[in-house]
Amino acid sequence: MYKPTLDYAQQQDKEDKLAHLRAQFHIPKDAKGNDWLYFTGNSLGLQPKQTQQYIQQELDDWAKYGVEGHFEARNPWMPYHEFLTNSMAKIVGAKPLEVVVMNTLTTNLHLLMVSFYQPTKAKYKIVIESDAFPSDRYAVQSQLKFHGFDTEEGLIEWKPREGEELLRIEDLEKIVDEQGDEIALLLIGGVNYYTGQYLDIKCIAEIGHAKNCMVGIDLAHGAGNISPELHDSGVDFAAWCTYKYLNSGPGSLAGLFVHEKHAHNKELPRFAGWWNHNKETRFNMRQPFDVMPGAEGWQLSNPPILSMAAIRASLDMFEEVGMEALRAKSEKLTGYFEYLINQIDTDRIKIITSSNPKERGCQLSIQVKNADKSLHKKLTENNIITDWREPDVIRCAPVPMYNSFEDVYRMVEILKTLL
């Protein structure tokens, strides 16, 4: 199927129906004006060229209208977060009622755990994957501590088996089957940041719910990369950032999902602010708190418009293309990348990400034998932008929005010479 030639890669780019998207992004260049080979959309996505226009519109309206921009701007600021809802819901497979853009990822996880981590003396433990991203680990440890529990005793790790890199769903099932009466929450990364493994979110929800555990998903490395189908999965909640595959700029806002089954439960404990109060009576300042239904009921503050404008610029591109087309290209492009790496005659590197396209997004994690980071440094010196994760992995993400088959071919050719 695949061929290890430049002609083949260039032909694939000619036939690629999404190839035109690359020209809509700013591609970083070296000192000679040549494009970098940029493979770190899993860490920070590239800037769409239309982002500046979207932000400039809000700056112009701020200058023109001042405070009246909340109602008179071309895109009025009062309901601005609502302009993002439908597109974001499609990306994560949710109903608009279930999604809101607000805050940042770890902040959202904490706000969600206020509602969905309600421990008792008997049922208080939290399950995470053993190599969860540090912020998730720190967040759940602090929640345990806040509720008066020992962080060592209260934290259960879902680990790969000895000699393996990837998690097995049957091992999670065993943990929950044996300890479920003590487990209050499963908080799992839908796509593991280190290995790139895409976990079966629906199966995780079923395993947790069978023992009356709440289930939450961190989709930091999943949103805009895979199609998590959050509503159909049945998970209770999820959160994700927007600056990786969703191309919204460094430190931009995050997304939040709360399943429809919780949408109208006003008795759920939560923190409150002006912006999750009933829209109809929000400006009658002396009314008692009346929480909104759905994910908006977890908002606290009015939307930061300039960050949301950048998100909107990217979401409009996703709306035009659709996740189905992006996933189709992603599977083919990542498959080609995997094929070329496996053609290299060396024992110095191996791919630890699943070889099953349904169990990964576009990230491939390359494990380096006897790693000392030198190979990654050499890639960088050759204007190939990947990222290094201790102790021994180079993460590479050929993003279907802006990476080409020729990018992949050229990257692997250079990698071969460096090896």
What is the per-residue pLDDT across 83-132, written as a single tens digit (0 to 9) for each? Answer: 999 999 999 999 999 999 999 999 999 999 999 999 999 999 999 999 99
Q: What is the structure's pLDDT at 371?
A: 81
Amino acid residing at 395: R
Q: What is the structure's pLDDT at 285?
A: 79
Q: Name 407's Cβ contacts closer than 8 Å, sequence gap at least 6.
A: 37, 38, 39, 398
**Torsion angles phi and psi, residue 58, rounded to 5:** -75, -35
How many angstroms from the chain centroid is the CA of residue 41? 11
Residue 74 contacts residue 54 (beta carbons within 8 Å) = no
Report angle CA 401, 407, 408 to the nearest 5 degrees: 100
Amino acid residing at 288: P
Alpha helical stretches, state H, 262-304: none
> Which segments in the chain show pLDDT lower than 70?
none
Domains belonging to the chain, first-starting first, are 6-42+322-418 (3.90.1150.10), 56-319 (3.40.640.10)
Q: What is the structure's pLDDT at 125?
A: 98
**Three-state DSSP state, 335:** helix
* Residue 276 tokens, joined: 């999750």
320-332 pLDDT, tens per residue? 999 999 999 999 9
277-293 pLDDT, tens per residue? 988 888 887 888 889 99
* Burial classification of residue 334, based on how many CB atoms lie within 10 Å of its CB (0-12 exposed, 13-18 middle, 19 or more buried): buried
* Residue 12 tokens, joined: 């694939």
Task: Give the separation between CA 331 and CA 312, rounded to whole angstroms.
Answer: 26
Terminal CA-to-CA distance of the chain, rounded, Å? 26
Q: Name 130's Cβ contacts closer than 8 Å, sequence gap at least 6.
A: 157, 158, 159, 160
Q: What is the structure's pLDDT at 176?
A: 98
Q: What is the structure's pLDDT at 283?
A: 82
Task: Give the separation between CA 209 and CA 213, rounded to whole angstroms.
Answer: 5
**Three-state DSSP state, 388:** strand
User: Minimal CA–CA distance to 255: which of 215, 312, 208, 195?
Assistant: 312
Residue tagged 């345990």 (tokens): 144
**Three-state DSSP state, 312:** helix
Q: What is the structure's pLDDT at 255?
A: 98
Residue tagged 């590239």 (tokens): 46
Residue 140 contacts residue 187 (beta carbons within 8 Å) = yes
pTM > 0.85: yes or no: yes
Task: Give the separation between CA 299 and CA 75, rounded to whole angstroms.
Answer: 20
Residue 197 contacts residue 168 (beta carbons within 8 Å) = no
Report angle CA 201, 104, 27 to the nearest 5 degrees: 90
Q: What is the structure's pLDDT at 1?
A: 86
DSSP H or E run through 296 = none
Alpha helical stretches, state H, 117-223: 134-146, 151-154, 169-179, 201-209
Residue tagged 């009658």 (tokens): 284
* Residue 317 tokens, joined: 């591109």
DSSP H or E run through 206 = helix 201-209
- DSSP secondary structure code for residue 419 in this structure: -
CA-to-CA separations, 217 to 45, 253, 287, in angstroms, rounded: 21, 17, 35
Residue 82 contacts residue 275 (beta carbons within 8 Å) = no
Residues comprising the chain, all counted: 419
Task: Give the separation between CA 142 and CA 184, rounded to whole angstroms.
Answer: 15
